[in-house]
Amino acid sequence: MRNDLASVQAFLASVIPGRAPIPDDPALAETAARFVTGNARLTPAAQVDIYRRQFWYRHREILNDDFPALARLLGEAKMDAFCRDFLDAHPPAHAPFRKMIEPVPSFAATWPGFETDAGRTFAADMARYEIAMLDVRAGADAPPLDPQKLAGLPEDAWERARIVLHPAARRLVFSYPVHRLRKAWLVAGEPAILPEAPSPAHIVLYRNRELVTHFEELEPEAFTLFGLLDEGVPLVPALGRLAEPLPEAQQQHVAAHVGRWFQQWTALGLVVDVDLPSSS
Amino acid sequence: MTAPDRMRLGLPDLGIGVGLRLPHYEEIFETRPKVGWLEIISENFLVPGGVPLANLDRALAHYPVIQHGVSLSIGGTTPLDFDFLKNLRALLRRTKSPWVSDHLCWTGIATLNTHDLLPLPYTTDVVRHVAARARIVQDTLEVPLALENVSSYLTYTSSEMTEWDFFRAVVEEANCAVLLDVNNIYVSSQNHGFDPNVYVDAIPAERVVQIHLAGHTNYGDYIIDTHSGPVIDPVWDLYRRAIRRVGPVSTLIEWDEDIPPLATLLAEAERARIVREEALSHAK
Ligand SMILES: [Fe+2]
């Protein structure tokens, strides 16, 4: 067997994410002894096993830190099982932890450890929300909107102007109001219980000017409009696209409320610029 | 004896610093304790913006900040990650850190990042491999790279030399700096049964630009470098010995687990200041 650097590293990387103690596996213990010396107190396999245990403790801690509400819902033993299964399915391949946790929502959506589909749906929603919390906290900065810029816009500008939204803001749709429940569990200390029935929610998660993360619940139409603006569609055409498929009554609702929505988004710091392309 | 102006590779002595850790942010920014500098974990600040970078800017307004990394994997066998190095260089422009440090170790392979600092086999082949990569990193980052000795819990059958001979060979061949972690020397000396004084005495003194002090956790059969608890007396002794050899070198207290109140950390920093003063006066 080769004993160069790459072979040593390949062996250790193959056993460090393992679940079972390396000394318990005679074949692994024998291979460990080819690469690792051991000492008077520890066999080679026992030395390697220190790194296997550290791997587990470290990644369990990261997952618990990044998904505190999911951890509360599951409880310690079940969260451990979730973390073990997740790390088996998605061993971290990259240095940034943000990359490691990316598949947590999709993994939660199919994890057999939940008794029901509702549990899986809820957990996936919560995991998506908890990742969004991290992203909003460390998302890109943008200088606040210059009020003069809005005041100075010509009448027809809303046909063409691209409304620039805060780059750290995230739009999220949930089957369950995980944003409220997470706050209730972690801030108010309420018991973490899966709600009996779904209750869909549309939210924008954003950072205020003091860099504190907040959620804002939006009506479904407002949420769609926000998404169109985020894609760069100017306000007037965006409103056209929003209204087109809606029944008459809802169209009137949108027309009556759009001014207030826009004011609110501006007040919350979600609108950071208005980009008026120079007319050619 | 090396000429004084060649010590620390000409880099500044910033005195005693502490690691900037989340639970202490507000108190540090509000009370601005008298420490010489702060060390950050670079990876925590490789983000687009928001809270982490705002906090970093608050720290930079009042303290020199030195960047310490954990994911370089200088001893890895996968290609160096130039996107990571580019981001690190951008952060260096923000912090103006006069040097940047990471560990003399490997962290993973293409399919697995252990997020751990694993020791390398001490061979001439590995010296060449690591030194070549360190030169590239140093050229890319445009500031001196300081490599830090890690705590280790295993030794390899393929090793041909001692850890200190390996460490010296790497930094000399790479022409890079040393971040000497005296707690890691102590931990490894207990785990592997060598004399830590011999290690300290073998380090090329003029290359040491920074020293780490920390606590650890003793499990009986082995010791883990947890950065938890106060620095123990044998480690203070090693620190005195190191300071007498290398002179006034920026020293940092690392405390990452069971993080205590800031006052406790500052008291440990004050102890380091006194120990360093005494060691320097004895060295004269
Ligand atoms: Fe260290």
Which of A48, A55, A140 has the CB atom closest to B154's CB atom? Answer: A48
CA distance B156 to chain A (A): 4
Please determine, for residue B129, whether its predicted confidence score (pLDDT) is greater than 80: yes
CA distance B123 to chain A (A): 9
pLDDT computed for residue A280 by the predictor: 44
| Chain B residue closest in CA terms to A96 | B43
pLDDT digits 0-9 by tens, B113-128:
999 999 999 999 999 9
A51 to chain B, any CB pair closer than 8 A? The answer is yes
- Structure confidence at residue A203 as a pLDDT band (50, 70, 90): very high
Average pLDDT, chain A: 95
Structure-token pair, residue A92: 């971290």
Which CB contacts under 8 angstroms, 24+ apart, belong to B10-14? B11/B98, B11/B99, B11/B144, B11/B177, B11/B209, B12/B98, B12/B250, B13/B247, B13/B248, B13/B249, B13/B250, B14/B64, B14/B66, B14/B250
pLDDT digits 0-9 by tens, A50-81:
999 999 999 999 999 999 999 999 999 999 99
Phi/psi at A272 (5° precision):
-110, -15
Which of B127, B130, B152, B157 has the most A C-beta neighbours within 10 Å, making it the best mutation to test the interface with A? B157
pLDDT digits 0-9 by tens, A220-279:
999 999 999 999 999 999 999 999 999 999 999 999 999 999 999 999 999 999 988 875
Burial of A253 (0-12, 13-18, 19+ CB in 10 A): middle
Please determine, for residue A191, whether its predicted confidence score (pLDDT) is greater than 70: yes
Query: Which residues are CB-neighbours of A2 under 8 A, at least 6 positions away?
Result: none
CB contacts of A91 in chain B (<8 Å) are: 111-112
Please determine, for residue A154, whether its predicted confidence score (pLDDT) is greater than 90: no
CB contacts of B123 in chain A (<8 Å) are: 5
pLDDT computed for residue B50 by the predictor: 98
CB contacts of B46 in chain A (<8 Å) are: 96
Which of B115, B162, B216, B217 has the most A C-beta neighbours within 10 Å, making it the best mutation to test the interface with A? B115
Please determine, for residue B139, whether its predicted confidence score (pLDDT) is greater than 70: yes
Inter-chain residue contact B192 with A58, CB threshold 8 Å: no
A 215-274 → B contacts, CB under 8 A: none
CB contacts of B192 in chain A (<8 Å) are: 39
pLDDT computed for residue B1 by the predictor: 45
Structure-token pair, residue B14: 């910033």
CB B210 within 8 A of CB B99: yes
CA A208, A200, A133 angle in degrees (round to 5)?
A: 30
Which of A16, A49, A50, A56 has the most B C-beta neighbours within 10 Å, making it the best mutation to test the interface with B? A50
pLDDT digits 0-9 by tens, B4-19:
567 899 999 999 999 9
| Chain B residue closest in CA terms to A59 | B115
Neighbours of B40 (CB within 10 A): 23
Average pLDDT of the segment spanning B221-231:
91
DSSP output for A213-269: EEEEE--HHHHHHHHHHHTT--HHHHHHHHHTTS-HHHHHHHHHHHHHHHHHHHHTT
pLDDT digits 0-9 by tens, B38-88:
999 999 999 999 999 999 999 999 999 999 999 999 999 999 999 999 999
Please determine, for residue B103, whether its predicted confidence score (pLDDT) is greater than 70: yes
pLDDT computed for residue B16 by the predictor: 98
**What is the C-alpha to C-alpha distance for residues A132 and A201, in angstroms, rounded to an integer?**
15
| Chain A residue closest in CA terms to B55 | A211
Q: How far is the CA of A104 from the centre of ligand 1 (A)?
A: 31
DSSP output for B6-29: GGGGGPPP--EEEE--GGGHHHHH
| Chain B residue closest in CA terms to A52 | B114
**What is the C-alpha to C-alpha distance for residues A58 and B116, in angstroms, rounded to an integer?**
9
Q: In 3D, which of B118, B127, B186 has the Cα closest to residue B152? A: B118
Average pLDDT of the segment spanning A185-200:
96
CB B189 within 8 A of CB B162: no
Which of B49, B106, B192 has the CB atom closest to A140's CB atom? Answer: B49
Annotate A158-188 with b (16+ C-beta within 10 A) or e (fewer).
Answer: bebbbbbbbebbbbbebebbbbbbbeebeee
CA distance B38 to chain A (A): 21
CB contacts of A140 in chain B (<8 Å) are: 48-50
**What is the C-alpha to C-alpha distance for residues B176 and B89, in angstroms, rounded to an integer?**
17
DSSP output for chain B: ---GGGGGGGPPP--EEEE--GGGHHHHHHH----SEEEEEGGGG-SSSHHHHHHHHHHHTTS-EEEE-S---TT-SSPP-HHHHHHHHHHHHHH--SSEEEESSEEEETTEEEEEEE-----HHHHHHHHHHHHHHHHHHSS-EEEEPPP-S--BTT--S-HHHHHHHHHHHHT-EEEEEHHHHHHHHHHHT--HHHHHHHS-GGGEEEEEEE--EE-SS-EE---BSPPPHHHHHHHHHHHHHH-S-EEEEE--BS---HHHHHHHHHHHHHHHHHHHHHH-
Q: How far is the CA of A256 from the centre of ligand 1 (A)?
A: 61
Please determine, for residue B3, whether its predicted confidence score (pLDDT) is greater than 70: no
> Which domains are assigned to chain B?
3-283 (3.20.20.150)
Helix (H) or strand (E) holding A205: strand A201-207
Average pLDDT, chain B: 96
Q: How far is the CA of B212 from the centre of ligand 1 (A)?
A: 5
CA B55, B61, B67 angle in degrees (round to 5)?
A: 65
A140 to chain B, any CB pair closer than 8 A? The answer is yes
Which CB contacts under 8 angstroms, 24+ apart, belong to B41-47? B41/B68, B41/B69, B41/B70, B42/B67, B42/B68, B42/B69, B42/B70, B42/B88, B42/B91, B42/B100, B43/A95, B43/A96, B43/B69, B43/B70, B43/B71, B45/B91, B46/A96, B46/B84, B46/B87, B46/B88, B46/B91, B47/A138
| Chain A residue closest in CA terms to B220 | A41
Which of B50, B113, B116 has the CB atom closest to A139's CB atom? Answer: B50
Please determine, for residue B275, whether its predicted confidence score (pLDDT) is greater than 80: yes
Instruction: Report the predicted TM-score, pTM, of the whole model to 2 decimal places.
Output: 0.95
Q: How far is the CA of B54 from the centre of ligand 1 (A)?
A: 25
* Residue that has been written with the tokens 């912090």 in this structure: B95
Inter-chain residue contact A36 with B156, CB threshold 8 Å: yes
Average pLDDT of the segment spanning A30-56:
97
How many percent of chain A have pLDDT more than 70? 98
CB A203 within 8 A of CB A229: no
β-bridge pairing B217-218 and B223-224: antiparallel
Average pLDDT of the segment spanning B189-195:
96
How many percent of chain B have pLDDT more than 70? 98
pLDDT computed for residue A279 by the predictor: 54
Please determine, for residue A47, whether its predicted confidence score (pLDDT) is greater than 90: yes
Query: CA end-to-end span of chain A, whole Å?
Result: 71
Average pLDDT of the segment spanning A2-14:
92
